[in-house]
Amino acid sequence: MSMAESRTKTMEAAAAAVGGKPPVCPVCESQAVVFLCEVDGFRIFRCPQSATDFVWPMPGDAQLKQLYDREQWFEGGEKGGYQNYDAQTEPLLPFYLEMLAECERESKNVSILDVGCGYGTHLAMASRRGWQCFGVEVSEHARKIARERHGERLYVVESVERVIPHQFDVILMLEVIEHLHDPYPLFYSLFSLGAIGPKTRIAITTPNARSFAAVSDPGAWIYRHPPSHLVYYSARSLRHVLERLRFTGVKVEGTYPADDGKPASYEDETAGVNDEWVSCSGLLARASGSDFMEFMHERYVPGTWSKITEYEHLPRYAFARTYAVGAQVLDFGCGTGYGAAQLAEVAEHVLGLDASADALVWARATHDHSHLSFEQRDDLGRGLPASSFDLITCFEMIEHVDEDTQREAVQSFARLLRPAAKLLISTPNPEVTVNYGENPYHRKELTEQEFRQLLSASFAHVQMLRQWIRPSVTLAADDLPGQAAEFGYIGGTDASTPPANFLAICSHQPLPGLGEKCYLDGSQDFVAVSMAREKALHQARIEHFSILQRTRDLYVSLVAREAELAENRAVLDGMKGSLSWKLTAPMRFVAQLLRGGRSRSRS
C-alpha cells in the first residue's frame, strides 16, 4: 500500500467514528488507524503502529454468545467455526506435552487453566498426568460435552470470574484471543484473581495477520471472518500485549508453515519481528515472569480489580475536569496516567508527575495526547517553578508517605499554585479501609480531622467533601437525567454509614459554594449483570449441594463396607478358633508348598 493510499484510508477511518468515537486499536490504543477492507458487512481497520487489524464497530457480547453456544460452531464446518474440533486441535499437542513436561520437572503439585477449553481435550491429557485441571468455556454446548466426556476430573466454568482464586503453573489461550474485543480485560481478570504469578507460563495461539496470505488479499484471507474473529494479531502485536503486561520471557514463533506466494507487506509498518514468520499461517506466543499483579497492587489500572475500586477512583477525576478546563494542571502521583489523560482532554496542559519509573512507562505507552506530558520526580515538586499551576490534583497518594513527607508535600503544593488556583486532594477513610485488610503500601492513613488539620496548615481555605459509594435508581425520560434531577432516598437513610474517601478543595483565596455531585455508571446493564451473578451463585449452590450428596453417599457406602468387613473378620476369627481349622492346618501347609513349587517351575 502506497503512502497516498494510506492517507486516504486514514481519512476513511476518521469518518468511521461510531457514536462520536473513532476507531481505536485495541492493542496500543492508537487512533492513527487506516481502513483495510470490509467482510460480510463488517469494516476492518489496520493499526500501523502495533501491526494489528480489528473490526470496528465491534459486535455485542450477546450476539457472540449466541454464536458460540451452538453445536454447529464446533462440528458444523461453519465459516469461522470447526469442521471437527478434536481433529483440528490435534496439531498443537506436541508443544503442549513439552510444556507440561517442563513444569513437571520443576514441581510435583501442578495446575493448569485452559481459557477456551472447548471439549476439555487438553485438560484431560493433563489430568491423566496428575495435574489439577481448570477450564473456562463460554459455549454451553462445549461445556456439556466436556462434562459428558470427563466428568468431575475437570473443573470447567463459563467465565474467568468464576474460576477459584489460585495461581496456576500453566495458562492456555489456544485460538481464543482473536475472539475478544480487547485482549487486556481477560488478563486483568486473571491477575486480579491471582491466577498469574511470576512463575506462570502463558501459551497463546492465533492466526498470523502478517502472513503472505493475510497481507496480499486482506478481504479474502481464510481467517478473516467476523463476527467470530474480531482482532487479528501479528508477532509484533502479540509481543506488544505481553510486554505491556510486564511478561519478561516472551517468545513468538510461527506455526503451520505454508507457501503462499510472493512476500507482501504494508509500507507504513516497520519491518522486524513480523518478517521472520510471513510464511506461517499461525503464531505461537509463550511468556512468563510477569510481575503485573504486584504492579496492580500499588496503583490503579482501569479495568482491573473490582467495580468498587473503579467507583473510588474514576469519579474524582470526573469531578476535577470541571476545574481543569483551559488550565495548567499538575497531576501529582499520577500513577498509570489514566486520570491525567482525562484532564488533558479539557486542560491547556497537564503534567503527570510520579516517583515510579515503572508507572510512567505504562502511562507514556498508554496515553498519547498533545496536551499531556509525564515526568519522573521524587522531590515532591520542589524543582518546579513557583506559582506555575491553576490546578493540582493529588488523589490517593498522601497516605502512601509518612507524616513528615505528608506535611512537606502539602507545603510544596501551596508553593506551586497560583493565588486563585485550587488543590484537589483525596485520601481513604480508615473506617472503611479496614474492610479491605492490611495494606502494606499505606504508611499513614488520616481521619477526616487529621486530614483537615494537615491541609489547613498550608491553605487558608479548605472545603471538605465526602465520597460515598451507593447503588442508585433513576426515573427519567432519558438514560441520563439532566442537571436539575432531584435526588431522594428509598428505604430510609443510614447516617452512620461512613464515607469511603475524603476529597478536599484547598485554595489561598475564598472558595465559592460547591455543588454536590452524583455520578451514575452507564457502562453496564446493572439488572442483567446482577441476574447473571445471582444465576451463577444459584448454580454454584446446586453444584455444592450435589457434591455434598455424593460425599454423603460415598460415606454411607464406606461405613456399610467397613461393617461388612468387620463381620467377615469376626466369622474368620471364629473359624480359626474351631477344632476343624486346627485339624486341617497340615493340609493347608502342604497345599501352600505345592502352590509355591508350581510357581517356581513356571518361572
Distance CA 549, CA 555 (A): 10
Residues 430 and 543 in one domain: no
Element housing 565 (H / E): helix 526-576
Mean pLDDT of 189-201: 93
Domain's final residue, options 240, 272, 295:
295
> Which pLDDT tens digit goes with each residue over 260-290?
556 678 989 986 778 889 999 999 999 999 9
Residues 34 and 106 in one domain: no
Q: What pLDDT, on a 0 to 100 scale, did the predictor assign at position 481? A: 64
Domain's final residue, options 55, 76, 91:
55
Average pLDDT, the chain: 86
Residue of higher predicted confidence among 109 and 328: 328
3-class SS at 483? coil
Residues 464 and 563 in one domain: no
CATH number of the domain enclosing 207:
3.40.50.150
Are 94 and 265 in contact by the 8 Å Cβ rule? The answer is no
Distance CA 479, CA 599 (A): 87
User: Is residue 419 one of the residues assigned to a domain?
Assistant: yes
Q: What pLDDT, on a 0 to 100 scale, did the predictor assign at position 599? A: 53
Q: What pLDDT, on a 0 to 100 scale, did the predictor assign at position 527? A: 81
Q: Residue 497 carries which DSSP code?
A: P
Are 239 and 204 in contact by the 8 Å Cβ rule? The answer is no
Q: What pLDDT, on a 0 to 100 scale, did the predictor assign at position 256? A: 87
- If DSSP states are collapsed to H, E and C, what string results for 500-519? CEEEEEEECCCCCCCCCCCC
Task: Domain of residue 89: give its range.
Answer: 61-295
Q: What pLDDT, on a 0 to 100 scale, did the predictor assign at position 11? A: 43
Residues 181 and 262 in one domain: yes
User: Is residue 491 one of the residues assigned to a domain?
Assistant: no
| pLDDT tops 90 at residue 568 | no
Q: What pLDDT, on a 0 to 100 scale, did the predictor assign at position 108? A: 84
Residues 197 and 71 in one domain: yes
Question: Which among 116, 121, 119, 154 is positioned nearest to 136, based on CA atoms?
Answer: 116
User: Is residue 185 one of the residues assigned to a domain?
Assistant: yes
Least confident span in 206-220, 256-270, 273-287, 351-365: 256-270
User: Is residue 527 one of the residues assigned to a domain?
Assistant: no
User: Is residue 175 one of the residues assigned to a domain?
Assistant: yes
474 C-beta neighbours (distance < 10 Å), count: 12
Residues 67 and 215 in one domain: yes
User: Is residue 125 one of the residues assigned to a domain?
Assistant: yes
Cα dihedral 288, 294, 299, 305 in deg (nearest 10): 80
Instruction: Please give the grid coordinates belonging to residue 231.
Output: 482482532
Residues 103 and 49 in one domain: no
Q: What pLDDT, on a 0 to 100 scale, did the predictor assign at position 305? A: 78
Residues 97 and 142 in one domain: yes
Which ranges of 57-211 does DSSP label H, i.e. alpha helix? 61-68, 71-75, 85-89, 93-106, 121-128, 140-150, 184-192
Q: Specify which residues 376 forms β-bridges with.
A: 354
Mean pLDDT of 333-357: 96
> Which pLDDT tens digit goes with each residue over 151-176?
888 999 999 988 988 999 999 999 99
Residue of higher predicted confidence among 256 and 111: 111
| pLDDT tops 80 at residue 394 | yes
Residues 130 and 262 in one domain: yes
Distance CA 413, CA 402 (A): 17
Residues 323 and 452 in one domain: yes
Give the number of domains in the chain.
4
Residues 47 and 178 in one domain: no
Distance CA 427, CA 399 (A): 7
User: Is residue 485 one of the residues assigned to a domain?
Assistant: no
Instruction: Please give the grid coordinates belonging to residue 425.
Output: 486532594
588 C-beta neighbours (distance < 10 Å), count: 9
User: Is residue 482 one of the residues assigned to a domain?
Assistant: no
Q: What pLDDT, on a 0 to 100 scale, did the predictor assign at position 209? A: 96
Instruction: Please give the grid coordinates belonging to residue 203.
Output: 501459551
| pLDDT tops 70 at residue 89 | no
Residues 344 and 463 in one domain: yes
495 C-beta neighbours (distance < 10 Å), count: 5
Domain's final residue, options 266, 295, 324:
295
Instruction: Please give the grid coordinates belonging to residue 43.
Output: 469494516
| Residue matched to cell numbers 508443544 | 95
Question: Which among 352, 389, 344, 384 is positioned nearest to 507, based on CA atoms?
Answer: 389
Distance CA 127, CA 97 (A): 12
